[in-house]
Structure 1
Amino acid sequence: MIRYGIVGCGHIAKKHVDAIAAVKGAELTAVCDKDPDRLEPFLQEGVEGYTDLADMLQSDRLDVVNICTPSGLHPALTIQAAEAGKHVVVEKPMALTLEDADRMIEACEKNGVLLTVVHPNRFRPAMKELRRKMEEGAFGKLSHANATVRWNRNQEYYDQAPWRGTRALDGGVLMNQAIHNLDLLLWMMGEVEEVSSYHATRLRNIESEDTSVSVLRFKNGALGVIEAAVTIYPRNLEESLSVFGESGTAVIGGRTANWIKTWNFEGVSEEETEKTVQRIEEDPFGVPGHQCIIQDMTEAVKEGRQPVVSGEDGRRALALVIACQTAAETGKAVKMSDLERKSKKAGDPQ
């Protein structure tokens, strides 16, 4: 059995509990939260509760630590777990700065432990089908792609927890809500070369942005548009990823990006297209994404391989968010190569 411990018993922790319970060969043995009252719903036979991570890490019944705390706390807790010799599953975003992400990756490599970042949307049936088409080259030469998140997070949502909407612990709509969609965009389109962006805090009383629009140029020459907002009235409207090429057009959308809305490829008959769309509609959600992440980590630990979603993958999505935010704040286009140089300089020991 691969034994898991969860740090942070807030909203997202239940998804981790359910995922661990559903995976053969995985077992929840510990939970940790500074507030002892928050431990209670997660305690069950064989599961120990801790209010201090250092104490939990001393347990000999622990292989993997799942970090489910506010985003700004991820780096320190990841490094602490890695230095104790524990593998790490960390919620998105893995960090709020590239320097912290690099420290996390370095700590895991140095201590010989695995690191995976929770980007579960890659496991959605429609997204796996889209990725297969990309790998087949079915789009031909790519022209552009759109990543859209039009959601509602009202003021009550932000008022429920003091960390939400802050720059230090939340990071804004791109960092906290849209980063999954950006991970998918990068997974499909490859690396970004340059970013221009605008963002604003239009409707919510928060420190970070609630609305953001960006334009990208990918290294392959294709263009991209990112639209992300938590201001949509009165509820979530859509999440979508659209990819356009010389021989293919695909749009995955819906309130969450789980359904094929458009699926046209050169040489593919209407009958075959309809079969693909129908197959996805019969099971648009598939195996829950968090369960896929835990399944993959469990197998990776047993097999001694890297997880499917690596720390480097999490870092790439983070870098794109930071590039968009930097471009918006400076009013200038940001080259990813310049962002990397600045990050490396900031991370170098003085």
Structure 2
Amino acid sequence: MIRYGIVGCGHIAKKHVEAIQATVDAELIAICDRDNNRLSRWLADGVRGYTDVETMLQESPVDVVCICTPSGTHAALTIQVAQAGRHVIVEKPMALSLADADRMIDVCREQGVNLAVVHPNRFRPAMEVLKKRVNEGAFGTFSHANATVRWNRDQAYFDQDPWRGTKEMDGGVLMNQAIHNLDLLIWMMGEVEEVSSYQATRLRDIEVEDVMVSVLRFRSGALGVIEAAVTLYPKNLEETLSLFGETGTAVVGGPTANWIQSWQFADLSQEEATETIQQITKNPYGKPGHQCLIEDMTTAIKMGRPPMITGEDGRRVLALVNACQQAAATGQPVRLDESIGGIKR
């Protein structure tokens, strides 16, 4: 059995608990949170509770630690866990700065432990078939792509926890809400070369932006548009990823990007396209993405291989977010160099 621990008992911890419980050869044996009330909700037979990470690492024989704390704490906790010789699964974003991300990657490499970043939307059935079409070259030459997140996060959402909406711990709409969609964008389209952006804090009383629009040029020459907002009234409207090429058009959307809305390729008949759409519609969610990540880490440890979504993957999308934010703050385009998405002016 691969033994798991969880740090942070907020909203996202439930998905990790369920994923570990559903995974063969995985066992939850420890949970840590400074708040005893939150901690007590997750304690069960065989699961020991801790109020500080150091004690958990000293006393519990966990093999993997899932970090489910506010974004601004991810780097320090990942480094602490890795230095104790444990593998790490860290929630998105892996960090708020590239310097922190680099340190996390370096320490995990030095300690010989795996670092996986939680980008579970790659395992959505629609995204898996979309990635297959990209790999097959079904789009021909890409012309452009759009990543759109039009959601609602009202003031009560930001007020429920003091870290939400702060520069130090939250990071803004791209960092906290849209980053999964952006991960999918560059997973499909490849590296970004240059970005220009506008950002604003229009409706929420927070330190960071609640709406941002960016224009991209990919290293391939294709163009892209990002639109992300938490200002939609009265509820979430859509999360959409759209890819356009010389021989293919695909749009995956809905309130969350789980449903194929357009599926047109030169090498597919209308009947074949309709069949794919119907197959996805029957089961748009598939196996929970967090379960896929836990299963993958469990197998990776047993086989001595890296996880499917690595620290470098997490860094790549973080670099894009940082570049968008820098471009908006300076009013100037920002170029990304070729060292895994590092930013340069």
TM-score, normalised relative to structure 1: 0.97
Shift of 1:58: 1.2
8 Å CA contact 2:33, 2:50 repeated in 1: yes
Matched with 2:259 is 259
Matched with 1:340 is 342
8 Å CA contact 2:336, 2:344 repeated in 1: no
Whichever residue aligns with residue 235 of structure 1, its letter is: K
Whichever residue aligns with residue 90 of structure 2, its letter is: V
Determine the C-alpha separation between the residues in 2 that align with 1:201 and 1:252.
28
Determine the C-alpha separation between the residues in 2 that align with 1:42 and 1:26.
17
| Secondary structure, counterpart of 2:208 in structure 1 | coil
Identity value in percent: 68
Shift of 1:340: 2.7
1:326 aligns with 2:326: yes
8 Å CA contact 2:319, 2:343 repeated in 1: no
1:33 aligns with 2:9: no
Matched with 1:347 is none
Whichever residue aligns with residue 42 of structure 1, its letter is: W
Shift of 1:38: 1.1
Shift of 1:61: 2.4
Matched with 1:19 is 19
Shift of 1:337: 1.9
Matched with 2:9 is 9
CA distances 1:180-236 after superposition (whole Å, capped 9, x unpaired): 000000000000000000000000000000000000000000000000000000000
Residues 199-348 of structure 1: matches in 2 within 5 Å?
A: 199-337=199-337, 340=342
Matched with 1:346 is none
Greater displacement, 97-106 / 53-62 = 53-62
Matched with 2:155 is 155
Determine the C-alpha separation between the residues in 2 that align with 1:156 and 1:56.
33
Determine the C-alpha separation between the residues in 2 that align with 1:29 and 1:287.
23
CA distances 1:226-268 after superposition (whole Å, capped 9, x unpaired): 0000000000000000000000000000000000000000021
CA distances 1:85-105 after superposition (whole Å, capped 9, x unpaired): 000000000000000000000
CA distances 1:139-158 after superposition (whole Å, capped 9, x unpaired): 00000000000000000000
Determine the C-alpha separation between the residues in 1 that align with 2:147 and 2:230.
14
8 Å CA contact 2:247, 2:266 repeated in 1: yes
Matched with 2:108 is 108
Matched with 2:190 is 190
Determine the C-alpha separation between the residues in 1 that align with 2:189 and 2:289.
21
Whichever residue aligns with residue 199 of structure 2, its letter is: H
Determine the C-alpha separation between the residues in 2 that align with 1:174 and 1:266.
34
CA distances 1:312-343 after superposition (whole Å, capped 9, x unpaired): 00000100000000000000000012983669
Shift of 1:287: 0.1
Distance verdict in 2 for CA 1:152–1:315, change over 3 Å: same
8 Å CA contact 2:240, 2:251 repeated in 1: yes
Determine the C-alpha separation between the residues in 2 that align with 1:110 and 1:291.
27
Moved over 4 A (4+): none
Determine the C-alpha separation between the residues in 2 that align with 1:37 and 1:134.
47
Determine the C-alpha separation between the residues in 2 that align with 1:14 and 1:55.
22
8 Å CA contact 2:145, 2:225 repeated in 1: yes
Whichever residue aligns with residue 41 of structure 2, its letter is: P
Shift of 1:60: 4.5
Determine the C-alpha separation between the residues in 1 that align with 2:344 and 2:125.
38
| Secondary structure, counterpart of 2:44 in structure 1 | coil
Greater displacement, 32-41 / 112-121 = 32-41
Matched with 1:123 is 123
Determine the C-alpha separation between the residues in 1 that align with 2:30 and 2:343.
40
8 Å CA contact 2:334, 2:343 repeated in 1: no
Whichever residue aligns with residue 169 of structure 1, its letter is: M
Residue ranges of structure 1 left out of the alignment (5+ in a row)? 344-350
Determine the C-alpha separation between the residues in 2 that align with 1:125 and 1:12.
21
Determine the C-alpha separation between the residues in 2 that align with 1:141 and 1:122.
22
Determine the C-alpha separation between the residues in 2 that align with 1:52 and 1:203.
37
Shift of 1:36: 1.3
Q: CA RMSD of the aligned region, Å?
A: 1.1
| Secondary structure, counterpart of 1:152 in structure 2 | coil
Determine the C-alpha separation between the residues in 2 that align with 1:36 and 1:53.
14
Whichever residue aligns with residue 2 of structure 2, its letter is: I
| Secondary structure, counterpart of 1:324 in structure 2 | helix
TM-score, normalised relative to structure 2: 0.98
Whichever residue aligns with residue 96 of structure 1, its letter is: L
Distance verdict in 2 for CA 1:131–1:341, change over 3 Å: closer
Matched with 1:141 is 141
| Secondary structure, counterpart of 2:267 in structure 1 | coil
8 Å CA contact 2:252, 2:261 repeated in 1: yes
Whichever residue aligns with residue 221 of structure 1, its letter is: G
| Secondary structure, counterpart of 1:307 in structure 2 | coil
Residues 160-179 of structure 1: matches in 2 within 5 Å?
A: 160-179=160-179
Whichever residue aligns with residue 340 of structure 1, its letter is: G
CA distances 1:264-286 after superposition (whole Å, capped 9, x unpaired): 00021111111100000000000
Residues 3-82 of structure 1: matches in 2 within 5 Å?
A: 3-82=3-82
